[in-house]
Structure 1
Amino acid sequence: MNKLTILSTVFGATLALLLPVSAQADDDDGPKFGLAGLLSGSNKEDLPPVILSAGEPLAADPWVLKSGTYYEFEIQGDGSQELALIGPEFFRAIWIDEIVVEGLEIRPLGLDSIEFDEAGEMEIGFVAIKPGSYYMKVPGSTGETQRLEITIK
């Protein structure tokens, strides 16, 4: 084999790894992501909003997430009380793509908690990564309704 043949073979193998699955040979067993791969629209799910309101439940049901799936959810604060939301273990088990507040996009390296001093809304887009059981809750609260149980499978 000459150097050109070796280079051509290596280039072809590398290109096959970089192409989205849909551009490679048809494989019914593999994931069917679009050109954006993990961040494609076919891999995105919307979650119900988290409500920050004095005395109201954070969410109706626990979340069950799938590792490798992109999710978006809104946190809605009604301004009835200054309220925070913590979930450091959960926030370390996901990769946060962006947080959007009033049209401003924030791309953090990590997150520990958020707080609403007045009424407002934010949207968080993330990829679930590390399987396990997690939670988000209003700090200092003891009621079950002030805690959102989250499972990543």
Structure 2
Amino acid sequence: MLKQLLVAALALPSVALADDDNGFGLAGILSASNKQDLPPVTLSAGIPLADAPWVLKSGTYYEFEIQGDGSQELALVGPEFFRAIWIDEIVVEGLEIRPLGLDSIEFDEAGEMEIGFVAIKPGRYYMKVPGSTGETQRLEITIK
């Protein structure tokens, strides 16, 4: 019986370990070939959050930095956006955080954080400074 199982196993077609059908590699959608860097988001009193809206593709891995200059205690909210993505990690001063979800972030002083995520749910979203009404304090995001 063992001999028959071994012969059957050897007769199976070999599986390519280098790439899947989409060319992503062993890490799947987290592969470097599926990663894109987004422009940074700036948290600073009176400065626009970003230069232009983001247009993202569902299934693509993105990374962006949030840079706070400490000019004011500022937060960034976007609960609908954060629920439309899968957050891989948040990195703050070399510390990697792997949350189950996110509602908002806040900078009490100057610093940087990097967020890596996969865009999942198509739609129109935003991140903004809470309580602000100006267009420059809001980042429009579309996931296609």
State the TM-score, normalizing by the size of structure 2: 0.88
**Cα distance in 1 for residues equivalent to 2:108 and 2:23:** 42
Alpha carbons of structure 1 residues 50 and 20: separation in structure 2 relative to 1, 3 Å: farther
Cα offset, 1:20, TM superposition = 6.0
1:110 aligns with 2:101: yes
Instruction: Answer whether contact 1:99 1:124 (CA < 8 A) is retained.
Output: yes
Indicate whether 1:147 and 2:144 are aligned: no
Match of 1:82 among 55, 58, 73: 73
Percent identity of the aligned residues? 82
**What is the count of residue pairs matched by the alignment?**
137
The SS at the match of 1:22 is: coil
Provide the TM-score with structure 1 as the length reference: 0.83
CA deviations 1:42-99 (Å, max 9, x no partner) are 0000000000000000000000000000000000000000000000000000000000
* Residue 25 of structure 2, aligned match among 6, 21, 34: 34
Go from structure 1 to structure 2 and tell me whether the alpha carbon gap of 1:48 and 1:54 turns closer, same or farther (over 3 Å shift): same
Does residue 95 (structure 1) correspond to residue 86 (structure 2)? The answer is yes
> Any unmatched runs of 5+ in structure 2?
none
Deviations 1:94-118 (A, max 9, x none): 0000000000000000000000000
Aligned CA distance change for structure 1 residues 152 and 102 (closer, same or farther; 3 Å)? same
Q: Which runs of at least 4 in structure 1 moved beyond 4 Å after TM superposition?
A: none
Of Structure 1 and Structure 2, which has the larger fraction of its residues in helix? 1
Match of 2:125 among 122, 134, 143: 134
The Cα RMSD (Å) is 1.9
Alignment of 1:19-58 (within 5 A): 22=19, 30-58=21-49
Letter in 1 for 2:94: G
